[in-house]
């Protein structure tokens, strides 16, 4: 039976590739895609999510708009990485598929309420505002969650938006704290993993070489957002962060990490949004997350290319 997931996302080119991977994978049933404000404001992430579903040839996918700002602080965005639309790169037509009327958070609550315990996986590719709001307003749904798999945080790589914090956690640390304290199984794809999943030239050419619309778009998105990371890190390509979350559902064997305690810094101005990960197990704080540290990058890109080829 396919694994039921809800994708919570702020597309973003790497979010877009993650959504494509999910929609291309028979092991996964996407119950809905919920947009959140993050890389760009909500209006754009909600539009981009629909652009991507249409590109995948799946206009029946339900797309919802969730929260338009973090729980307690003003929104921080990342146009410097993703461009002003969030999906800069190739020209994309405006979506024609409808946006669902229901608020994204109420979709999450209603969907989980209708499912048995331990049955739905939440895949979080952006700030955790929607999921935290759903848990706060309807604590009864928390037990319905099978697993939360999220892209966020860092230990060895520390930060990308501040010296101490990764973007998704930094944008809404209070939301992240609620999620990390939820008591449900959490799997984290931090920068420590995603900075190893680099879009090197041969990998991007493999996307382009598919000779399909999807392959071309993914290659062109990559061409666009790479420029920023290559310059910043001097790396051979850009990290393809968010698809790691979906790849983990299909091929968990590609990833390795540790079951450890992870707390979120919400106080200090200097380190706000830091994921304080007890990688070396130097405290007695109970483990609450599987914090990944490594990925078989070639295996990951082969899987991605093979699945994108089916769209």
Binding residues for Ca ion, rule: CB under 5 A, are 10, 12, 15, 125-126, 242
* 94 in Cβ contact with 46 (< 8 Å): no
Using rule CB under 6 A, residue 35 touches ligand BDR: no
Give the one entry of ligand BDR, Ca ion, none that residue 237 binds, where binding means its C-beta sits below a cut-off of 5 to 8 angstroms depending on kind.
none
Instruction: For the CB of residue 3, give the shortest distance to Ca ion in the complex, in Å.
Output: 21
Using rule CB under 6 A, residue 78 touches ligand BDR: yes
- Residue 292 tokens, joined: 């990944």
Residue count at the site for ligand BDR (CB under 6 A)?
A: 15
* 20 in Cβ contact with 214 (< 8 Å): yes
Q: Which residues contact 214 (CB under 8 A, 6 or more apart)?
A: 20, 55, 56, 308, 311
Catalytic residue selected from 82, 195, 241, 259: 241
Instruction: Name the residue nearer to Ca ion (CB basis): 173 or 278.
Output: 173
Per DSSP, what are the bridge partners of residue 4?
Answer: 29, 120
Sole binder of ligand BDR in the list 12, 173, 190, 273 (CB under 6 A): 12
Residue with tokens 């921080």: 76
Instruction: For the CB of residue 10, give the shortest distance to ligand BDR in the complex, in Å.
Output: 6
Sole binder of ligand BDR in the list 155, 167, 291, 300 (CB under 6 A): 167
- Residue 200 tokens, joined: 């090197």
C-alpha dihedral, 266 to 280 to 252 to 197, nearest 10°: 70
Instruction: Name the residue nearer to ligand BDR (CB basis): 177 or 192.
Output: 192
Instruction: Name the residue nearer to ligand BDR (CB basis): 16 or 53.
Output: 16
Using rule CB under 6 A, residue 32 touches ligand BDR: no
With residue 213 as reference, give the H or E element that holds it. helix 213-233
Using rule CB under 6 A, residue 275 touches ligand BDR: no
Cα 205 from chain centre: 24
Using rule CB under 6 A, residue 242 touches ligand BDR: yes
Give the one entry of Ca ion, ligand BDR, none that residue 226 binds, where binding means its C-beta sits below a cut-off of 5 to 8 angstroms depending on kind.
none
Instruction: Name the residue nearer to ligand BDR (CB basis): 10 or 177.
Output: 10
103 catalytic per annotation: no
Instruction: For the CB of residue 15, give the shortest distance to ligand BDR in the complex, in Å.
Output: 5
- Cα 47 to Cα 35, 53, 86, 258, distances in angstroms: 9, 10, 10, 36
Sole binder of ligand BDR in the list 8, 14, 172, 220 (CB under 6 A): 14
Using rule CB under 6 A, residue 170 touches ligand BDR: no
Query: Phi and psi at residue 74, in whole multiples of 5°?
Result: -65, 155
- Respond yes or no on whether the N-terminal peptide bond of residue 12 is cis (omega within 30° of 0): yes
- Residue 83 tokens, joined: 């461009």
293: three-class secondary structure by DSSP: strand
Residues designated catalytic: 241
Give residues in contact with ligand BDR (CB under 6 A).
12, 14-15, 39, 78, 81, 125-126, 151, 160, 166-168, 241-242
């Amino acid at each position: 039976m396919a694994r039921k997931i809800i994708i919570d996302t702020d597309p973003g080119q790497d979010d877009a590739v993650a959504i494509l991977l999910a929609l291309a994978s028979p092991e996964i049933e996407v119950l809905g895609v919920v947009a959140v404000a993050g890389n760009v404001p909500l209006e754009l992430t909600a539009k981009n999510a629909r652009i991507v579903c249409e590109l995948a040839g799946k206009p029946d996918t339900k797309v919802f708009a969730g929260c338009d700002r973090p729980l307690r602080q003003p929104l921080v965005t990342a146009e410097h990485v993703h461009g002003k639309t969030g999906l800069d790169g190739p020209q994309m037509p405006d979506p024609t598929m409808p946006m669902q009327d229901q608020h994204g958070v109420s979709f999450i609550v209603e969907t989980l309420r209708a499912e048995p315990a331990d049955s739905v996986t939440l895949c979080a590719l952006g700030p955790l505002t929607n999921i935290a709001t759903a848990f706060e307003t309807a604590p009864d749904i928390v037990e319905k969650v099978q697993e939360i798999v999220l892209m966020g945080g860092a230990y060895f790589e520390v930060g990308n938006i501040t010296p101490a914090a990764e973007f998704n956690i930094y944008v809404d640390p209070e939301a992240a704290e609620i999620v990390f304290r939820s008591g449900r199984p959490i799997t984290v794809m931090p920068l420590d993993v995603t900075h190893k999943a680099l879009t090197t030239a041969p990998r991007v050419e493999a996307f382009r070489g598919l000779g399909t619309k999807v392959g071309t778009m993914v290659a062109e998105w990559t061409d666009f957002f790479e420029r920023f990371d290559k310059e910043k890190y001097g790396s051979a390509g850009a990290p393809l962060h968010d698809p790691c979350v979906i790849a983990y559902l299909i091929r968990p064997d590609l990833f390795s990490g540790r079951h450890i305690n992870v707390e979120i810094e919400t106080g200090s101005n200097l380190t706000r949004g830091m994921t304080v990960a007890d990688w070396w197990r130097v405290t007695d704080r109970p483990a609450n997350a599987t914090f990944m540290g490594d990925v078989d990058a070639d295996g990951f890109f082969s899987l991605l290319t093979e699945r994108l080829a089916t769209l």
